[in-house]
């Protein structure tokens, strides 16, 4: 019944990872595993699962941060896993955009029921569907296929450039400062990102999407403030 539904499970405890993936495979899901947030994010971008199950307490990037990164580009259902009684975590998790929450230890039936329930909700129109596509006559971003076309021509962007473009176009007409862009595009990695990262990423992006990168019309520089995605005339 769940054929062709793919799930990403990110969990650093091997026994729990094994348990979850076995249960979900038995249920007919296509399971991909990762043991930390960075690996999970990579798997997400490469394989675009239909649902993600994220442990909150992960080494490095936390499940909450990972969810935030996923939410920048996708509305797939996210279920958090957490140790028992982590009340502040639960609130943070739901604020971060999770759809549901499972407290460890959990039973097989509970896991299956929650997965089935978020998938059911996701299948309903207007709830949990992919973020709507962006288009302004010059640029088309298809968020479900993860593709960008400029003036009819497909362009190949790095995940970072894609995130930058998604964030800027998602705030069309609004000026975003370097710091804001660092937070929105780099997320948890913003602390380690060099201040010139924003400028470099915008510059690379312009070379791929602007008709004339020296006179950008899509991603404008607002001197002293930051950058703005301008609607094409
Ligand atoms: Ca953990």
What is the tens place of the pLDDT at every residue in 49-85? 999 999 999 999 999 899 988 988 887 889 999 875 5
* 38 CA from centroid of ligand 1 (Å): 14
Q: How far is the CA of 58 from the centre of ligand 1 (A)?
A: 5
* Residue from 42, 96, 33, 24 nearest 64 by CA: 96
Q: Could you report how far apart the first and last alpha carbons of the chain are, in Å? A: 48
Across 99-187, where does the E strand assignment appear? 100-104, 134-135, 139-142, 147-150, 153-155, 175-176
Task: List pLDDT tens digits, range 101-117.
Answer: 888 889 999 999 889 87
Cα–Cα distance, 124 to 82 (Å, whole number): 27
Ranges in the chain annotated CATH 3.40.50.2300: 6-123
Residue 3: is its pLDDT beyond 60? no
Q: pLDDT > 70: what percent of the chain? A: 85
Distance 14 CA to ligand 1 centre (A): 10
Question: Cα–Cα distance between 86 and 93 in angstroms, integer?
Answer: 10
Distance of CA 77 to the CA centre of its chain: 11
Name the CATH topology of 134-229.
Arc Repressor Mutant, subunit A (1.10.10)
Distance 81 CA to ligand 1 centre (A): 8
Q: For residues 136 and 207, what is the distance between their CA atoms, to the nearest angstrom? A: 19
For the full predicted model, state whether its pTM sits above 0.85: no
- Ligand 1 center–CA 54 separation, angstroms: 9
More confident residue, 183 or 149: 149
Task: Give the pLDDT band of residue 194 (cuts 50, 70, 90).
Answer: confident
Q: How many A from CA of 193 to the centre of ligand 1?
A: 26
Among 65, 48, 44, smallest CA distance to 56 is for 65
Residue range(s) occupied by CATH 1.10.10.10 in the chain: 134-229
- Summarize the confidence of residues 191-203 as an average pLDDT: 81
Tokens, residue 172 = 């069309």
Say which DSSP state 11 is in. -
Between the CA of 101 and the centroid of ligand 1 the distance, in Å, is 14
Is the pLDDT at 41 greater than 80? The verdict is yes
Architecture of the domain delimited by 6-123: 3-Layer(aba) Sandwich (3.40)
């Amino acid at each position: 019944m769940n054929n062709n539904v793919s799930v990403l499970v990110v969990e650093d405890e091997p026994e729990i990872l094994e348990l979850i993936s076995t249960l979900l495979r038995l249920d007919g899901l296509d399971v991909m595993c990762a043991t930390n947030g960075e690996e999970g994010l990579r798997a997400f971008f490469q394989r675009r699962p239909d649902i993600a199950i994220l442990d909150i307490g992960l080494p490095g990037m936390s499940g909450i941060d990972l969810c935030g990164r996923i939410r920048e580009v996708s509305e797939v259902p996210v279920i958090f896993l957490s140790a028992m009684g982590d009340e502040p975590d639960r609130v943070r998790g739901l604020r971060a955009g999770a759809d549901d929450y499972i407290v460890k230890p959990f039973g097989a039936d509970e896991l299956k029921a929650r997965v089935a329930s978020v998938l059911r909700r996701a299948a309903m129109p207007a709830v949990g569907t992919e973020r709507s596509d962006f288009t302004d006559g010059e640029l088309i971003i298809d968020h479900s296929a993860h593709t960008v076309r400029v003036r009819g021509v497909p362009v190949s962007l790095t995940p970072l450039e894609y995130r930058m473009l998604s964030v800027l176009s998602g705030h069309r007409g609004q000026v975003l400062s370097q710091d804001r862009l660092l937070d929105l595009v780099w997320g948890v990695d913003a602390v380690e990102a060099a201040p010139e990262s924003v400028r470099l990423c915008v510059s690379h992006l312009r070379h791929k999407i602007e008709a004339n990168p020296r006179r950008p019309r899509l991603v404008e520089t607002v001197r002293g403030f930051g950058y703005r995605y301008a609607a094409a005339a």
